[in-house]
Amino acid sequence: MCKKFVYGVAVSDYNFIGREVETKRLMDNFRGGINVILMSPRRLGKTSLVMRVCDKLKSEDIITVYLDIFGCKSEYDFYNRLASEVLKQTASRQSMWLEDAKEFLYRLTPKISFSPEPNSDFTLSLGITPKTHTPEEVLEMAEKIAVKKGKRIVVCIDEFQQVGEMADSKQVQARLRTVWQHQKHVSYCLFGSKHHLMSSIFLHRSMPFYQFGDLIVLDKISTAEWVEYIVSHFADGKRTISPTLAEEICRFTDNYSAYVQQLSWLVYTQKEEGETVDETDVKQATDDLLATNEVLFMQMVEPLSEYQLNFLRAISSGVTKDFGLAKVREKYHLGSYSNINRLKKALLERDLIENRGKELAITDPVFAKWFQRKMMF
């Protein structure tokens, strides 16, 4: 039985919508050995898109490796995660990963942890440290495996912005690029959820990963596509929603994929089979959406200074530029003129705001609505 709407995890098949152009572009790049940088704000479906492409390529002579490095805080945390996932996901049988490990990496002290859950995967810790392996040994492993197997490998690294927060980050990035740019049988798809950090890694000329590959900026799915998706999924569940109210779901969430799915689900659960959604149902669901995410949003604002909160209040009131003007600083209590750049930088680094051309906006559309309700004077 297919779930009607899915959020918080990668979606596929029945719950995957649109992205035909992006899917083809990614598949062409993966087949051609072209490195890819995939960028967008959070909640627009980057992970779902990459995993969908990986799934489509299973029948071809390409091995795809997916790893999430969000928990990696240091350079060697990353090397351990990279090596273990490459070994696990390129082995033709689960039992062969240890043989491959012995062949492609020496001096290992592997540890295996199994989950008590049936049919669950195992966790592999290789014990790679600066004393046992150089970065180059680990980074060259995927290429050696690809050559031996006679196949192309695509390594997809989620939450890649973590590399930008490691100690000596620029040197780490330089080491990665120095090895990866010379590999003939392995390509990389690098993506992450913190748009500001990803931009600092890939868009600045002075950074090692500048022009590393095909830069794809993921845009929002159109309202027309979402409306068709929402109406048809309600119909599949023997419920009815009008295109107008489906559009209201899109408007409230600003077409952010995860939020569209979540709000659609909250509306869907209010009705039984044979019933029709009305405006009251959508209004109740939007209130529920804000309440459901309130704990997360509170965590986002708790560390902020009063000046930073006031800067967000200014944006919420419609100010998008010229924050240094005396009348703006006085009205919203932003402090001195020299304080403006510090406030802007701090909020950009937290991904609470983003540049849209020459103007600033709050990044998360649902957070913006919650902030307007809860945090304004």
Residue 320 CB burial class (10 angstroms; 0-12, 13-18, ≥19): middle
Half-sphere exposure (Cβ direction) of 166: Cα atoms closer than 13 Å: 24
* Tens-binned pLDDT, residue by residue, of the chain (377 aa): 568 898 888 787 888 888 899 999 999 999 999 999 999 878 888 999 999 999 889 878 899 999 999 999 999 999 999 998 998 888 866 555 556 656 556 555 555 555 555 555 656 667 778 888 889 989 999 999 999 889 999 999 999 999 999 999 999 999 999 999 999 999 999 998 888 889 899 999 999 999 999 999 888 999 999 999 999 999 999 999 999 999 999 999 999 999 999 999 999 999 999 999 999 999 999 999 999 999 999 999 999 999 999 999 999 999 999 999 999 999 999 999 999 999 999 999 899 999 888 899 999 999 999 999 999 87
Residue 253 CB burial class (10 angstroms; 0-12, 13-18, ≥19): buried
Q: Are 241 and 282 in contact (CB under 8 A)?
A: no
- Name the residue ranges covered by the structural domains of the chain: 19-217, 223-299, 304-375
Q: Please give the pLDDT value at position 108.
A: 58
CB atoms near residue 16 (< 10 Å): 19
Parallel, antiparallel, or unpaired for β 111-114 and 122-125? antiparallel
What confidence tens digit (pLDDT) does each residue in 27-76 have? 999 999 999 999 987 888 899 999 999 988 987 889 999 999 999 999 99
What confidence tens digit (pLDDT) does each residue in 96-131 have? 555 665 655 655 555 555 555 555 565 666 777 888
Q: Please give the pLDDT value at position 139.
A: 95
Q: Please give the pLDDT value at position 10.
A: 79
Q: Please give the pLDDT value at position 17.
A: 84
Do the domains at 19-217 and 223-299 have one common CATH topology? no
Q: How far apart are CA 145 and CA 275, in angstroms?
A: 56
Instruction: Give the residue ranges of DSSP H helices in 91-129.
Output: 97-104
CATH class of 223-299: mainly alpha
DSSP line for 281-344: HHHHHHHHHHHHTHHHHHHHHTT--HHHHHHHHHHHTT--S-TTSHHHHHHHT---TTHHHHHH
Q: Please give the pLDDT value at position 18.
A: 82
Q: Are 235 and 81 in contact (CB under 8 A)?
A: no
- Helix, coil or strand: residue 232: helix
Domain 19-217 annotated CATH 3.40.50.300: yes
- Helix, coil or strand: residue 268: helix
CATH architecture of 304-375: Orthogonal Bundle (1.10)
Q: Please give the pLDDT value at position 59.
A: 77
